[in-house]
Structure 1
């Protein structure tokens, strides 16, 4: 493979390959518009026959529009460029305020209409569907969910439009796809392996206004001996952290027959296309059309009010120069072009490092990766950070033509 181009082996009707060892890597494509057969060698008719030793399909593609036959002792279909985040990444944070009777099981959200909580009077009291009491708990905490992220994936694919048959000793399908439009048959040991992620849910009062005192035990007042009634007592303590960790499926592997590869969905039956009709009275209305859209152009529908021209030391434009040909309108203002945009902001830059010009510049985020921008405390909106992720859009680097 070169820097921007991957090799291709293709046939219009039928492709036969005879090889002891076949290595297909890094977006290389082996394709047949009809049937394909891969074996140890070819016969006098150039048809694949016998059994090869090893087939490696690493982050590459083997595809037949018809049936696909593999007679290889060992097949390794693997994503060799998979990258997962080393630690789970925070994806959500929920603020919670809950109440619970002492000795009770269920917890109730503070906004639950079924409960009444009085924590400001001399005697604190909680009423729930279970009953009421002056001895209860109050909790302030955040529930933070973090999950393993797929930073980069580049699965290998073995695909057939019809049946797919493999005969050999071992077949390993690691974080990749083996999909047949017809029957998928295997003679040998098949190992479908998928990398697992982790979902981590943490409940803690750290990072909240109640940090260190998120758990509050409201105790009923003691007995009065003389004088005024005693007040309810509140004992505070740290809430959490309580961590629950579970396995997170990442859905990186497919091994299916009698199905259609997701990358090549069937075409949808035709339906009348929608055309846009523009007019001065009604703009953007949708009409049904069976032919090309007829979009009339209405003069003066949107008069031009300003124009940005390159900076120049020439004589300023006169009113005649500002006249718009074919109309009775003229440009209201003429302004020089703005200065060139400042250098783009990279995700590695801290907010404090940004200049005023860079604050209004587009932010470049690597495709498929999460980026968190921590806001300065004076932003005044109560928000502390912005999270975003750009889609992973990559053009193929192999081509049949």
Structure 2
């Protein structure tokens, strides 16, 4: 953006709040920064990508600023300078995104020292560091925080006071190794939990109670034990799980036993009695029975993406399950089957068998088939 273009845009706003993004650091020149400074009182949100080269950012008046995004390779003097300006000049700021791509570490003290922590509602911290906890890290009070995203350092939870947190996202691992998280550090106030590439530490033999959790999203989780419970979630309504990495006792257990330890209501995930919607992606289910999901009696919507289907799915939908599982999936209203397969049948044969069974025994069940794999694929 040229200086003339920026000036025209700012004049057209006529003093209205402005959302400004400076995402091409090589094009940010002194004259553009000075022009932005003259109109800084209009800024409602500011996103800035800092180049490795240092350039001067003058003091801005930011009475309307609510959201700040900083993207930088390292925690340098420019980042610190901007945070100080915002702390002194932005009384309305409630959202902070801080992404340090190549940083070897991110001291919590860099955030904790600022008074804006006490009014933040949304915080996103991303660092390239996968290292261990810093024993000298300060405890940071975030009394108003509602949404927290941590990338690269899940251990930071241990040093945060989060009495009103509602949504927690942790992306902690890499393709080669999942980052360890400790469930007891999860605030009990959360209603949404998203964990990506994490493994659960066997920290305690007692399940962690998350009484308000309604949405759980596990992407590429690594489960280390078939016996130790981790979560009790009596209010859970929606759950998604993508792939599973089995470690320790899980690795040698039969597929059905491993999944049963997750979904039976007696293992890693407990109190699934209120779960209404379940989405599973890229999980091998063909060697298992639908009975492994006996811990989810109220399931109403089940979505399977890129999975092999349980071998007795059609029989279960027909109510032919045996023993105490006769009413398994009895409350199911919608079944989504996307890109699913079977080792012994083509996608079309799997689809036809499920469709015929549901039409005969469950005419009110809504069954959706889209993008199924073919036999050649």
| Larger relative contact order (Cα-Cα within 8 Å, sequence gap ≥ 6) | 1
Q: Does TM, scored on the shorter chain, surpass 0.5?
A: no
Q: Which TM bucket (shorter chain)?
A: under 0.3
TM-score, scaled relative to structure 2 = 0.25
TM-score (norm 1): 0.24
**Which structure: larger Rg?**
1
The structure where strand makes up a greater share of residues is 1
Q: Which structure shows the higher helix fraction?
A: 2
